[in-house]
Amino acid sequence: MKKLVGACAVLLCMSTVAVHSADSLPRQPVVVTQRAFKGQTESISATTLFTPARGGLYRISAYVDSSNFSGTYFPEVFLSWTDDFVSNQVQMPAAMGNAGNAAWASLQLTVRGIANQPIQFSTTENPNEQGICNFYFVVEQL
């Protein structure tokens, strides 16, 4: 009987530690959307990436690559959102790297999203209309 009580006590302690350990783990980001716009040759007007159902922090990861890059043009990419006070917009940096006639740029940004207010992106028009661009986005709730 003592062995049974001892075994039950050990199991009870282990399950209590396991429950408390799970509660103390940090919350992991959750991917809420992934979008890809491939083979783009023209500008893209304001396009919704994600509309939060509730307010919170969201991380936007963006990557752009372009072929037939002339060295004088790389698309301007704008991300826009509304926080508690105002509508915001940020521009991705110009081409961060290039090799031959291809180029790329990336950005990671944390924003405060408001319920029912879209997180969007848009691009400028390609003036020489020779390049082909691919745009990739991941939005995570933090």
Write out the DSSP string of 29-73: PEEEEEEEEEEE-S----EEEE--SS-EEEEEEEEEEEES--SS-
Looking at the structure of the chain, the number of domains it has is 1
Give residue-wise pLDDT tens across range 40-72.
888 899 999 999 999 999 999 999 988 876 655
Which carries the bigger pLDDT value, residue 15 or residue 55?
55
Q: What pLDDT sits at residue 126?
A: 58
Please check whether residue 76 lies inside any domain of the structure: yes
Q: What is the CATH number of the domain that holds 42?
A: 2.60.120.1400
How far apart are the two ends of the chain, measured CA to CA in Å?
A: 50
Nearest to 49 by CA among 38, 40, 36, 39: 36
Alpha-carbon dihedral angle through residues 49, 53, 54, 58, given to the nearest 10 degrees: -20
Residues 98 and 116: their CA atoms lie apart, in Å, by: 38
Please check whether residue 12 lies inside any domain of the structure: no
Q: What pLDDT sits at residue 55?
A: 94
Residue keyed to tokens 């990739």: 136
